A and B are shown apart, each in its own frame.
Chain A
């Protein structure tokens, strides 16, 4: 590791760790992966720990069951770090807290905060010892092991907890933080991760499925989701049947429009038509709210609200459709039939399709 050197013994452990962190940050900024940091950190840890009476020598230092590495997501980058156990002594309380801080601040996003944090750690102390801060943050187990009942650990845990509360999880790695009084072995941590994920997705589905805001509980939600999907599929069938029976009417309209499509010289017309469709979809997507019961006219109501029903045919398309490559040559005749049908469905101002971001 280029920037790292064994700190002199006269420095306090904390200062050494501050140096560690600074080196770390520099390295982390140069390289985007964790490997150098992990390796360097380990080395630093070892050198720092040599001063401590417990004499932790290596990575697999079995210790008073405290900081138990369970950083699965760093398994490739931090193989050593995952197994590091930090010695706990009465004297080393403060150092351990800062160490656990350091390890717990291993997320990329929190790089900048590391050195100030480690300093403030000791002062922060047992601010929020009862770590009800359930972050999705996998720790080196600093907080988790507080329950093992050693007073030293407790402080470490509480310190960690206060630390965690300050920093919102911004990483995209899976980090899990064990709650107070919960089991901390890797199996239950993984279970917790899984449950968190599932509850996240259930919440998203709750927003997606209309009328589910009052339903709590997985079973009820799943029932609703199943019903909704089934009703949607039934609607597709129903609508396809209706379209099949109503299709003779369509011939008249679509022939003219799709005639343009087949004609290679008039691509713009067809793209314009497709742009219109997208606009229609935007409107329907945005205003369609009664999807639960198949009501064919409900969508129509929302479309009829605009009094200005002019379909711009020769003009540049509205700015709101940036992705439709409208040509300037828009055949009036061919599209007039379509436009008369669509006029009733067209509003002048429509919004872009708002995309609900999937949180995952």
Chain B
């Protein structure tokens, strides 16, 4: 149901324009949102927010495809039905001291698929992850704004 050129555009375009993946992301997320609406009208809002969050990461990973290590790791995590655990706040142990070596470790924990990457790949994946994260956040904010206006 996604527009065809969204996927092909992504692969053909050497500049990796995010445009096609944005479309995919939006459609996937909105559909997931709708499904969550329909199926969990009675459940708590906490459960719903968890599902919405999961849907957000899922749409990120689906639109990124399998080209990226972080999206592959994310898809693996989603498919295994594991509870999506994200570092919600700075872990207390890491906050007091952060040396150079720890920073890479902290980053590895943040980026999905991080532990199995070397530093160079880690930075590359982080950049891509940040791009998709920002797009996802903007999408969610847009949806938020549109339903609250």
Contact A358 to B137, CB < 8 A, known contacts A222-B103, A322-B5, A324-B23:
no
Instruction: Say yes or no: A352-B19 contact (C-beta < 8 A), given A274-B26, A342-B146.
Output: yes
Q: Which of A53-61, A66-74, A147-155, A232-240 contacts B (4 or more CB under 8 A)?
A: A232-240
Quote the shortest CB–CB distance from B134 to chain A (angstroms): 6
Report the Cα distance A223→B17, complex, angstroms: 27
A225 CA to B124 CA, complexed, in Å: 12
Please state if A271 and B1 are interface contacts (CB–CB under 8 Å). Answer: yes
A232-B133, A240-B53, A296-B145 are contacts. A225–B48 as well, Cβ < 8 Å? no
Contact indicator per residue, chain B 76-94, by CB within 8 Å of chain A (1) or not (0): 0000000000111110000
Q: A246-B147, A275-B3 are in contact. Are A284 and B138 (CB under 8 A)?
A: yes
Q: Is B33 an interface residue (CB 8 A)?
A: yes
Let me know if B88 and A237 touch, CB within 8 A: yes
- Chain B residues within 8 Å of A, Cβ to Cβ: 1-6, 9, 13-20, 22-23, 25-27, 30-31, 33-34, 36-37, 45-46, 48-50, 52-53, 56-57, 86-90, 98, 100, 103-104, 106-107, 110-111, 119-120, 123-124, 126-131, 133-149
Measured in the bound complex, the distance between the Cα atoms of B45 and A223 in whole Å is 33
Q: How far is the CA of A241 from the CA of B14 in the complex (A)?
A: 36
Task: Tell me the count of chain A residues lying within 8 A, CB to CB, of chain B.
Answer: 75
Are B139 and A284 in contact, CB atoms less than 8 angstroms apart? yes
Check if B131 sits within 8 Å of A229, measured CB to CB. no
Query: B133, A229: Cβ atoms under 8 Å?
Result: yes
Q: Are B53 and A345 in contact (CB under 8 A)?
A: no
Check A198/B5 contact, CB under 8 A, given A233-B87, A243-B144, A285-B22.
no
Residues in A with CB closer than 8 Å to B131 are: 208, 356
By the criterion CB–CB under 8 Å, are B110 and A226 in contact? yes
Report the separation of the CA atoms of residues A288 and B134 in the bound assembly, to the nearest whole angstrom: 10
Interface centre among A232, A251, A357 (most CB of B within 10 A): A232
Smallest Cβ distance from A208 to chain B, in angstroms?
A: 5
Task: Give the secondary structure class of A's interface.
Answer: helix
Cβ–Cβ contact A299 & B3, under 8 A? no
Q: Are A267 and B1 in contact (CB under 8 A)?
A: yes
Cβ of A271: which chain B residues have Cβ within 8 Å of it?
A: 1, 3
Per the bound structure, the CA–CA distance linking A292 and B136 in Å amounts to 14
Question: Nearest CB to that of B35 among chain A residues?
Answer: A258
Interface string of A207-220 (1 = CB under 8 A from B): 01100000000110
Contact (Cβ within 8 A) A355 B18: yes
What A residues does B48 contact at CB under 8 A?
244, 247
Q: Is A230 an interface residue (CB 8 A)?
A: yes
CA A223 to CA B4, docked complex, whole Å: 39
- Judge whether A274 and B2 touch: CB under 8 Å: yes
Residues of A within 8 A of B22 (CB): 278, 281-282, 285, 353
Collect the chain B residues with CB atoms within 8 Å of residue A218's CB.
100
Tell me the complex Cα distance, A237–B52, Å: 9
Question: With A223-B98, A246-B147, A323-B19 as given contacts, are A208 and B88 in contact (CB-CB < 8 Å)?
Answer: no
Asked if A62 CB lies within 8 Å of chain B CBs, one says no
- Which residues of chain A are near B1, meaning CB under 8 Å? 261, 267, 270-271, 274
Q: Known interface pairs A275-B3, A325-B3. Does A303 touch B15 (Cβ–Cβ under 8 Å)?
A: no
Q: Is the CB of B124 within 8 A of A325?
A: no
When chains A and B are docked, how far (Å) is the Cα of A323 from the Cα of B16?
Answer: 15
A281's contact among B107, B120, B142, by CB below 8 Å, is which? Answer: B142
Verify A228–B130 contact, CB threshold 8 A. yes
- Evaluate contact between A226 and B120: CB separation under 8 angstroms: no
- Determine the chain B residues whose CB is within 8 A of the CB of A281 once the complex forms: 22-23, 25-26, 135, 138-139, 142
Interface residue from A205, A241, A250, A303 paired with B130 (Cβ < 8 Å): A205
| In the complex, residue of chain A having the shortest beta-carbon distance to the beta carbon of B14 | A357
Query: Are B98 and A323 in contact (CB-based, < 8 A)?
Result: no
Least CB distance from A276 to B in Å reads 9
Least Cβ distance of A219 to chain B in Å?
A: 5
Complexed CA–CA distance, A232 and B9 (Å) = 27
Inter-chain contacts of A258 with B (CB < 8 A): 30-31, 34
